[in-house]
Structure 1
Amino acid sequence: MSVEGAVAYDVLSPLAAARALAKDDPGVARFCPPALLLHGTADKSVPAAGSVLMHEALAKLGVPSSYRLFEGKTHTDFLLEDAFRGGKDQLTDSILQLVTGAPQEGRHACMCPRLLVWLASRVCPF
């Protein structure tokens, strides 16, 4: 990550921020809501290991945190491809399960021909 060509990982990274808080203000957890981290294992933009590390950093702070890795999902599957393709909505189901405490199984209609969704997923850089 960079800002104006200079490496700025510590400024832009949520993981770096959580780790810094653990050092600077260990009592900050009382101000933080529970965190749910959802990540696809095929994400080319942000490695799925980042969510695991973030979960560990939040746990070290004392912030209630959970994570779920979705096998084969990319950075855009949940919000783009899956939404257009239709069918099971894993993203919404996971969020609603956290909120309600009960398993969820939502489905939505196909918004675009599957062939177009497949083609778009092949050229998507994320």
Structure 2
Amino acid sequence: MHMSNDHLLTLSIHVYRYNLLELVDHFHERGLYRSIFLSIMEGEESLKRFSPAITIQDPSIKQSIPLLPPIYLFHGTADYSIPSAASERFAEALKKAGANAELILYDGKTHTDLFLQDPLRGGKDDLFDHIVDVIHSKDKDAVTKGKVPPPRRRFVPEILLKLARKISPF
């Protein structure tokens, strides 16, 4: 399938660096202590440089923001590594800056469910199906033919996936 420029999209899956300044306290409470985090990030000033939500507010790039392809943010509401509110705030910041952004929240999904446990589970995979729908949305042949992703097989017994969810630090 050929994708022209108007078919391009940006997928942001579990990107957590929206605004690191807002997440320092969250990380600290989760055990990544402020002093260690700031040391890793080379100080608080660098957090601004690595935070897209802050970068898009830079007046020198304002005219470039509307030129970005559509941006899709996918986030689980049960993500305790990075709160889904971070994606909500980033989506709003993108829209306010003039970007075409859409946030898709997955109720009850954790940080790793969408890209690890769900694909291993097999069967219906909401994130995968959503991505395929977005990619094919402007492909007249795919829409007309009703292309559906093939069924996915299970790779791991459910008990192991539930155990992994209980012990995962994410």
**2:54 corresponding residue in structure 1:** 16
Residues 1:4 and 2:48 are matched in the alignment:
no
Q: Deviations over 1:36-69 (max 9, x none)?
A: 0111001111111111111111111211111111
Residues 1:98 and 2:134 are matched in the alignment:
yes
Q: Deviations over 1:54-109 (max 9, x none)?
A: 11111112111111111000110011111111121111111122222269864411
Alpha-carbon contact 1:27-1:61 (below 8 Å) kept: no
The whole-number CA distance in structure 2 between the counterparts of 1:43 and 1:10 is: 23
After TM superposition, the score normalised by the length of structure 1 is 0.84
The whole-number CA distance in structure 1 between the counterparts of 2:113 and 2:103 is: 17
What is the number of equivalent residue pairs in this alignment?
124
Alpha-carbon contact 1:28-1:61 (below 8 Å) kept: no
Listed as ranges, the gaps of 5+ residues in structure 2 are 1-19, 21-36, 138-142
Aligned-CA RMSD value: 2.1
Q: Which has the higher strand share?
A: 1
The whole-number CA distance in structure 2 between the counterparts of 1:31 and 1:89 is: 31
The whole-number CA distance in structure 2 between the counterparts of 1:41 and 1:69 is: 6
Distance 1:116 1:65, change over 3 A: same
Q: Deviations over 1:8-31 (max 9, x none)?
A: 43133222223x33x443202244
Alpha-carbon contact 1:85-1:112 (below 8 Å) kept: yes
Listed as ranges, the gaps of 5+ residues in structure 1 are none
**1:49 corresponding residue in structure 2:** 85
Larger radius of gyration: 2
Percent sequence identity over aligned pairs: 34
C-alpha deviation, 1:112, in angstroms: 0.7
Distance 1:104 1:82, change over 3 A: farther
The whole-number CA distance in structure 1 between the counterparts of 2:73 and 2:110 is: 14
Alpha-carbon contact 1:9-1:16 (below 8 Å) kept: no
After TM superposition, the score normalised by the length of structure 2 is 0.64
Match of 1:28 among 61, 64, 70: 64
**1:112 corresponding residue in structure 2:** 156
The whole-number CA distance in structure 2 between the counterparts of 1:125 and 1:88 is: 25
Alpha-carbon contact 1:10-1:16 (below 8 Å) kept: yes
